[in-house]
A and B are shown apart, each in its own frame.
Chain A
Amino acid sequence: MKTLDRRGDGAATGLLAAEPAAIRAAPPRAETSVNLLRIPLVRRIFESRLYPAVLQLPTALVFAVVVWELLAGPVRAHDNFGTAMTWVIWWPLIPLFFLLLGRFWCAICPFATLSDAIQKVVGNNRPVPRFLKKYGIWIIDAAFVIITWADHVFGIVESPRGSGYLLLGLILGVVTIGSFFERRTWCRYLCFLGGLSGNYSRAGTLELRATPGKCAKCNVKACYKGNEKAPGCPMFEFPRTMETNAACNLCGYCVKSCPNNSIRISPRIATRELWSIRRPRFEESMLACVIMGVVFVQNITMLAIWQPILRWLEGALGTTAYAVTFTITFAVMMALPILALLVASFLADLSGRAGVVATFTAFGYALIPLDLAGHLAHNLFHFLAEGKSVVFTALALVGVRSSGSPALLDNATIQVLQYLLVLAGTVGSAYTAYRIAGSRTSGGARWPALLPIGALILVLGAVNLYLFYLPMAMRM
């Protein structure tokens, strides 16, 4: 049986009890004008039994090679195919995926494939623990910060073995969660990349939604529970009430299972979803701030100015222990965007009186476009300046020696692209803040609320631009 309710009646297994509260009271939602599923080829792909499996398999195979290379291949990152694939190709391109296709990567992610396979064999399909539903995003926030910190202190990116052990640790987590809990509990509630991808996908240009008119007459809820055509939504989403693409991975199960052809996949303007978040969450805004801090840390530590800063810190603190000096820098970099947004929220709230935390929560989403742009711009350098290293290291795998510059483009061109990205992100963030301010205020109150946030966005954009002006070190 293909449904996730493998033991028969959903009620008996507690699946119905796990239904989201909103499943019983779907708010009406306007239909979008363009539905990509009306294109016959697109519909055929999404309805095919081969999708997404046909993409999962090669991804899993490449992943297996990457893991093996990281664990058993050359110890120098410079020569390791696993390092090149992970940190020069995958990590730089993944934000672009999120922007263009939402969380589509999550549908073909090898960890998710592994989780599905483990579930089929030994899965206990237990309901998601309540604390995970409540605090999962905080765990994701913390994991993201800890992994970034560990990368710098233990040199995970620079060390193929370190990267390999990180992947082994993640595999252990995925196997553990997949063995005991239903659907993709790991992906939805624990994957450190899931938090990032959720936030970025909100700014993405693709959305999956149901057609309210068709869903109103439906009482089978196959999209959530699954049927003989496809399992229920692996990400615990109920398309009828979906307001965000933060969790949807475009796996197409709901397209296959819906008996009413209710599902629509529509293009949308980038950042549009951020303009009107109905229920903003503090932890998601915090993650947006944390990502900004992470981008700053990643940039600064790869710049030539990092060494003088480090020397100064060593002198001021009286220690040369990198773990100490970096941790202090890291803490400051993480705290700066949070404190800056708190101050801006306090100023923005002077006229509104909604509360600083509520204002912080609402406007935190406005940082996401700039986060995405900063992340993309930073990694664009690694992709374009080191991209050919994947070819060189792949050829080395089969014993072919090759030489030449690993760069795909010259530095000046890359820098211009970085500036353009940051400018686009700044404009996206500023416009998002403008729309959020408009939705939270009435009459002339929009501008007093917007000005402090807008000023903060401009400052963050300018800092990003300056950082990209400085020469950066390579990964390989």
Chain B
Amino acid sequence: MGLTAGSEDPACQQAAYLELQRRNAAIQNGVAAWRNGDVGGLALARVELARLEATLAHPFWSEPLKATVDKTRTAAAGLSQALKDKDQARAEAAVRSLADAAYYVATAYYHYWLPSGVLLNTAVQEGVGASVGGHGDSHGGTATPAAQANPGPNWLVVGGFGLAIASVIAAAWVLKRSMAAGDAAETREEPVGV
């Protein structure tokens, strides 16, 4: 099995998310220690940051998380440079950016990713899950056969609209016919009136 096998699995993203938050906290501790004079804090921050970057790069992040993860990656790159330059002021600013980015990942995780997973789970249980477009960039990418089922149209609603449209067309046709008949009658009547 290759190292990236299963990277599209939702469980992989879930694990990566937890790892992301853990490493982020560790990086903050490291930079804080460095600020307080502990040189070991810098080394710790560097190690944790390298692990964070590896974690960010591993799974195929699904759409609800992708945008925020991209921001986290950008923030991590900024911090990496600051740590490499041993620039404490820049590192502290970059840590704040990283914390902000991680916060947005958390928001996306809890409010978009997990709820949509619950929806999919419900759909699978009900046997009305989606068919698969196959682009596998969300937790639906590896949908079960049940999730691929397509319930088809709601014929009651579609039929209702169809009936309404047909009624309108019929009414317009009747009106047009009656108006045409009226016009003909007027034409016939005109000579009488004259």
Contacts and interface: CB of A to CB of B under 8 A. Distances in A.
B172 A75 contact: no
Contact of B104 (A80, A123, A471): A471
Interface stretch (B24-32, B88-96, B146-154): B146-154
Contacts of B103: 304
A74 interface: yes
B175 A396 contact: no
A71 B158 contact: yes
Identify which of A165, A171, A172, A412 gathers the most chain B CB atoms within 10 Å of its CB: A172
B78 interface: no
Given A122-B176, A179-B169, A308-B107, A412 B70 contact: yes
Interface residues of A, number: 55
Given A74-B130, A74-B150, A172-B161, A304 B108 contact: yes
Contacts of B135: 388-389, 392, 402-406
Nearest to B172: A179
Interface in B153-194: 153-154, 157-158, 161, 164-165, 168-169, 171-173, 175-176, 179, 183
Given A75-B150, A124-B179, A179-B168, A471 B68 contact: yes
B150 A472 contact: no
A470 B68 CA distance: 9
Interface string A175-212: 11001100000000000000000000000000000000
Contacts of B63: 78, 386, 406, 474, 476
A472 B67 contact: yes
B133 A396 contact: yes
Interface residues of B, number: 49
A401 B157 contact: no
Contacts of A407: 66
Contacts of B153: 71-72, 164
B151 to A, nearest CB: 6
Contacts of A175: 165, 168-169
A5 interface: no
Contacts of A80: 130, 133
B123 interface: yes
Nearest to B175: A124
Interface in A400-444: 400-407, 410-412
Nearest to B74: A412
Contacts of B140: 76, 78-79
Contacts of B152: 72
A339 B141 CA distance: 46
Contacts of A169: 161
A393 interface: yes
B136 to A, nearest CB: 5
B23 to A, nearest CB: 19
B43 interface: no
A473 B71 contact: no
Interface of B: 63-64, 66-68, 70-71, 74, 103-104, 107-108, 110-112, 120, 123, 128-138, 140-141, 150-154, 157-158, 161, 164-165, 168-169, 171-173, 175-176, 179, 183
